[in-house]
Structure 1
Amino acid sequence: MTPSNHNMVGLVELADAEELLDRLGRSSFGDVQQAFFQRLQDWVRPRDEWKRLDDNRFCVILRGMATRGELELATSKLERMFAEPHYQFGRPVSLTIRAGFTESSDPDNDLELALRRASMALRQARDAARIYDVYAPQKTVQAAEEQKLLERLETAVDLGELQLYYQPKIHASYQSLVGAEALMRWHTRDKKVIPPGQFIAVAECHDVIRPMTFWAVKSAIARLALWPEELTIAVNIAPQLLLDGQLASVVNDALDIYGVSPARLVLEVTERIMVDNQTTMMEQLADMRVRGVKVSLDDFGTGFSSLSYFRDLPVDEIKIDGSFVMKMLECGKDHAIVKAVIDLAHNFSMKVVAEGVESTEIAERLKDLGCDILQGYVFDRPLEVGTFEASYGIVKPNPRNQQPVRNHPIN
C-alpha cells in the first residue's frame, strides 16, 4: 500500500489562455475555461484535493503518491483527458495544458513552499514545451544538501558574506558608460567565490531571497549616492517579492535616506510577472514607476508573453536575452527577432538593452539596428566595486572637483 505521507503538489495551467482570449473573445473564452475546469475536476481522484488559484490555474494535491512512476501514470491520464479538443459552436478548440509538480510530505503545513517549487517546475515545463515537469534543485546542489545550503545562505546574509559585482552598461552610439547591473556573489569564509547560479534558485524557493534582495537594493542605492548623477544601477528582483508592499517600502526608504533620484534605480524583473499573480505584480510595478523608479523586463523573448500583455506592461526598458544576441550574426532568425524587439519597444517608447554582447561586430550591428544600451563580455565581466570604479574613473562626488565619467570605447 502506498504510504500516506507521500504526496505530489502540482500547478496545472491552461497554457494558451491569452491567445484563446484574443481569438475567441471574453464570452466564448469563458466557456473554454469552464471546460478546462471540468476536465481537471474529472482528473483528480476522490482522495485528492484541488483549488482554483486564478482564471487559468489550479493547485492540486495528489495524496499518497510515492513514486515518479505513479506520477507518470497520473500525468498520462491528464494528457489523455485534454487530447480531445473542446467544441465551441461546432468548431474544435485545442486545450493546451502545462503542469509542474513537487514532492511534499506535509502539504497542509508547507503548501507555500511546495507551490513555489511547483511554480519553478511549471516554468521548466513551459521552457521545454513539455506537458509537465517535476521540481529538482539546481543541478549543482543535490536535493539532500538543499537544507544545508539554505542554512549557510542565511548565515551568509547575517555575516555580510554577499557582495555586489557590477557589469557596465554602455551607450550603443556614444560608447560611454551609462550605468551598471548589480550581480550578487557569495564570498565564503574559506575564500571561495560562489556565483549566483549555484544559490539563487534555491534562495528563491525560500524566504531568504527576501533579505538578500532587500540588502542588494539598499547597497545599490547607497552606491548610487557615491556615483555621478548620470549613472544608474539595475538590481534583479524575484517576482514573488512583488506580491506585497514590503519591497516598495524598502526602495522608498533607501532612496530617501541616501537622497538618490528614483530614476537612477532600475528594477529588473522577468516575464514571470506576466504569468504568476499578474495583477498584483503589475500594480506593484506601476506604483514603483509612479515614484519614478525605472523597470526593466529581463530575458525578453524567452518566456510566454503575448502582445496583449506587452501593450500594458508597466516597464521602461526591454532587455533582449543574450541567447538571441550572441548568434544574431550567424542566425538570420535571431537577427530578425532582435530587430523586431528593438522596433517594437521603440514604438512603445521603451529603451532596449542587449545583453550577451561578446564581439565588436555584434556591438556595431546592434548600434546600426538602433539598440540603446549594450552589456556583455566585450566590454567587461562583472567586476568588484573597487575595480569597477577604478576602471571607469568613478569617484565620490565632490562639489568643487567632480570628475566626469570616463568613456569606455568598444575597441
Structure 2
Amino acid sequence: MISADHSMVGVIELADGDMLLDRHGRLAREDFQRIFCQRLQQWLRSRDESRELGDNRVMVVLHGIRSRGELDLATIKLERLFKEPYVHFGRPIQLGFRAGFTSTEDSRSESEEALRQANLALREARANSTNVRLYTPVAESLADNQRTLLETLEIALQRGELQLFYQPKLNTVYRSLAGAEALMRWQTADGAFISPAEFIPVAEANEIIRPLTWWAIKSAIARLARWPEDLSIAVNIAPTLLLDDQIVAVVGDALDIYGVTPKRLMLEVTERIMVGDTETMLGQLGRLRLIGVQVSLDDFGTGYSSLSYFRDLPVDEIKIDGSFVHNMLECGKDHAIVKAIIDLAHNFSLKVVAEGVETEPVFERLKELGCDVVQGYFLDRPLSAKDFEASYGIHRAGVGEKQPLKDHPLM
C-alpha cells in the first residue's frame, strides 16, 4: 500500500501527437492540444495539479493516491473520456493518450527526480504500446539497457552490420520456389549475433525503425533485380510506418531504380494496422497497391480479426499464423481455423500462405486443404543471400535453373 501522504506524479502526452499534426496540418495543432488539455482537466479532481511541459506533454500531480488500484481506476476514467472522437472540420479524429506515473512522498510533488521517473515510465508505455506505465527501478534498468542497445544499433546500421536473410516460400501444388521472406539479422563487429526478438521491438519504439525499414525495402528490391521474374520477396512493415507518407515514395523510387516489377515485392503488415487511424491505414495500403505492390496480412487470426476488416482491407494475401499451423493435426479446433481461413480467403480471391510448417504430414494436409504457399523450418531455415542463391541455383547474370536443396524432402 502507498501511504496517504503519497502523490502520483505523471507525465501524459497526446498519443502519436507529431504524426497527427503532420497528417492533419499544423493548423490543427491548437485544436488538438486544446481538446487534449480540456479532457485532462475534465479528469482531474479539484485537489490535483497540472502543468503543460510542451511537446504535447502535460505533467499532473494526483494527491492522496493510496494504491496502484486507485491509479488504475483513475486511468480507466481517463480512457473513457478519450474514447469519444473529436470532430475536426466534419471528420472524426480519434485522439489517444499515453502516460507514465511514479509515486512520491516529496512534499513539492514536482521534484526533478519524480519528473524524471514519470518520463521514464512514459517511454516504457510508448515502447510497449500501452496507455499507462508505473515507474519501477527494474523498468529503469531495462530502459538503460534499451538505450545502450539503441545506440549500438544506430552505429551498426551506419557500419553495415545488418543483413537480410531469406526464408524460402514454396508453392504447394508444384513444389517449386515461390520466393522468400526477408528477415533482418544483426551480426556485430566481434561476430556475435543479436536476436531480432531483442532489437526489433526497440527499433519499433524509436525513430530508427524508419531508416532500418527503408534499408530493408531497398535491399530486398536490389536482390529481386538479380532473381528470376517469377520470384517475389516479402518485407515486414511496422504499422506506424504506414502512417508515414514517405513509404510510397521509398518503395516506388527503389522499384524504378532497380527496374523491378512491382508485383514481385510483397509488404507484410499485421492486423495491428487496424488499431488507430483506420481510414489513413486503408488509404495508404490502397496507394501502395496502386503502384503495383502486393500486400500480405501477416499473423492472421491472432489480433483484431473481424469480417468487416477482412472485407475492406486492400490486401492480396493472407498469412496464417504458425500458432494455428503447428498443432493442426492434433488439435481439431486449430485444424478448423486453418481450413476456415483458407476457404474464406479463396472466396475473396486472396492467396493463402501458411507459416510455421515443421513436418511433412502438416505440409501434405495444407496442400489437401488448398493452401497456396507454405514456409517453415521443414522446408528451410532463413539463409544468407549467398547461401539462398547457391542452394536454389539463382545466378546473378540471369535466370538460373532452380535446384532443390540437397536431400530436400519436398523437392
Tell me whether the two structures share a fold, i.e. TM-score over 0.5.
yes
> Distance in 2 between the 1:215 and 1:199 partners?
16
Query: Is 2:249 the counterpart of 1:249?
Result: yes
Matched letter for residue 243 of structure 1: L
Query: 1:236 maps to what in 2?
Result: 236
Moved more, 104-113 or 164-173: 104-113
- Larger Rg, first or second structure (1 or 2): 2
Contact 1:102 1:121 in 2 (8 A): no
> Distance in 2 between the 1:225 and 1:232 partners?
10
Instruction: Report the alpha carbon displacement of residue 331 of structure 1 after superposing the two structures with TM.
Output: 0.7
> Distance in 1 between the 2:285 and 2:117 partners?
31
Q: 1:147-186 to 2 correspondence within 5 Å?
A: 147-186=147-186
Query: Is 2:4 the counterpart of 1:7?
Result: no
Instruction: Report the alpha carbon displacement of residue 42 of structure 1 after superposing the two structures with TM.
Output: 6.4
> Distance in 2 between the 1:395 and 1:67 partners?
70
Change (3 A) 1:225 1:336: same
Instruction: Report the alpha carbon displacement of residue 264 of structure 1 after superposing the two structures with TM.
Output: 0.3
SS in 1 for 2:298: strand
Query: Is 2:401 the counterpart of 1:404?
Result: yes
> Distance in 2 between the 1:143 and 1:371 partners?
43
SS in 1 for 2:284: helix
Change (3 A) 1:268 1:82: closer
Contact 1:48 1:61 in 2 (8 A): no
Instruction: Report the alpha carbon displacement of residue 244 of structure 1 after superposing the two structures with TM.
Output: 2.3
Change (3 A) 1:45 1:153: farther
> Distance in 1 between the 2:316 and 2:67 partners?
46
Q: 1:125-164 to 2 correspondence within 5 Å?
A: 142-164=142-164
Instruction: Report the alpha carbon displacement of residue 142 of structure 1 after superposing the two structures with TM.
Output: 2.2
Change (3 A) 1:144 1:382: same
Change (3 A) 1:82 1:216: closer
Query: Is 2:328 the counterpart of 1:324?
Result: no
Contact 2:297 2:318 in 1 (8 A): yes
Query: 2:72 maps to what in 1?
Result: 75
Contact 1:298 1:319 in 2 (8 A): yes
> Distance in 1 between the 2:380 and 2:60 partners?
51
Change (3 A) 1:339 1:133: farther
Query: 1:128 maps to what in 2?
Result: none
Structure 2: which 5+ residue stretches go unaligned? 16-37, 51-55, 81-95, 103-114
Q: CA RMSD in A?
A: 3.8
Deviations along 1:154-183, one digit per CA (max 9) or x if unpaired, are 111111111100000011111111000000
> Distance in 1 between the 2:314 and 2:101 partners?
35
Q: 1:185-264 to 2 correspondence within 5 Å?
A: 185-264=185-264
Matched letter for residue 61 of structure 2: G
Query: 1:272 maps to what in 2?
Result: 272
Instruction: Report the alpha carbon displacement of residue 304 of structure 1 after superposing the two structures with TM.
Output: 1.4
Contact 1:320 1:341 in 2 (8 A): yes
Matched letter for residue 154 of structure 1: E
Change (3 A) 1:62 1:278: farther
> Distance in 2 between the 1:326 and 1:287 partners?
35
Deviations along 1:36-92, one digit per CA (max 9) or x if unpaired, are xx999865545578xxxxxxxxx9967236999754322235669999xxxxxxxxx
SS in 1 for 2:130: helix
